[in-house]
Each structure stands twice: as structure tokens, then as C-alpha cells.
Amino acid sequence: MKKEYADKLYNDFPLLYADRNKSLKESLMGFGFECGDGWFDLIYDLSTKLERCIEIYIQENPKDHPRAVQVKEKFGGLRFYMTSETSEMSNLINEAENKSYETCEICGKEGKPNEKGWVTTLCDDCKENK
């Protein structure tokens, strides 16, 4: 993902991405967002919802809160890993991961996973131009 997109996510959701500058032994967010720009809107929407959940969580648990550990593509779908999560957070993550299988990772248009070789989720145009 482009640096400008990653920076926007980091700046807009400081609680969720609080570990982005930790060592790779502590958090894999040091690798950044290991996926294409086409999923930016999907991740931004998920991050908005998770940040709200974390804000509520902190009211009851001020010492520690869930944070993103890794965000990447795997087998054509989004993977979003957290240090911990509530059932609401799990449901939101599952919903976004499911949507990723219908969203082109490159451009964000409607897509589907390819069936041969390295599995990626692409629209027809991006699949042809890859």
C-alpha cells in the first residue's frame, strides 16, 4: 500500500495502530500494510469501526487496549490480526475479510479470487493487465 495511504491510516486511527513503531519482535505493523491500494477503503472503514470500539473499551480498561498487529493479504483475502479483540471487533474483522474476496486488491472495483497460481482477488481489467 502507498505510504500516503498508510500514513493516513496511522494518523486517523492512533489507538488501533499504536504499535506501528514497535520492533518486529513486538508487532508486525513495522512491515506496514502488506496489501494493494484497492483495499484502502475497506481497511479505512474497518479501522473507523475498530477505533470506536477501542475508545469504548478504554473506558473500562484504561491500562491496555486491543491494537493491530498485522494487516496483509493472504490467499486472496484480507487478514487483519489484533493483540486481542472483543466479539464485536471479531465480527467487524470477519465482515471486512469476507468483503475483500469481492474487492479488487489493486483498484478497489468488484473482483473475485483467481483460481490459478498465486491467489489474488482482482477485477477483470486488473487481471488482464497484471
Residue 72 lies in a domain: yes
At 15, the pLDDT band (50, 70, 90 cuts) reads very high
Is the predicted pLDDT of residue 16 greater than 90, yes or no? Answer: yes
Task: Give yes or no for a contact between 18 and 8, defined as CB atoms under 8 angstroms apart.
Answer: no
Share of the chain above pLDDT 70, in %: 100
Asked whether 96 and 45 are in contact (CB, 8 A), the reply is yes
In a domain, residue 108? The reply is no
Has residue 130 got a pLDDT over 90? no
The Cα-based distances of 83 to 21, 36, 37, 116, 123 in angstroms read 15, 23, 24, 33, 32
Q: Is the residue at 52 inside a domain?
A: yes
Does some domain include residue 13?
yes
Instruction: Convert the pLDDT of each residue in 58-91 to its tens digit.
Output: 999 888 899 999 999 999 999 999 999 999 999 9
Domains in the chain, number: 1
**Average pLDDT over every residue of 5-13:** 97
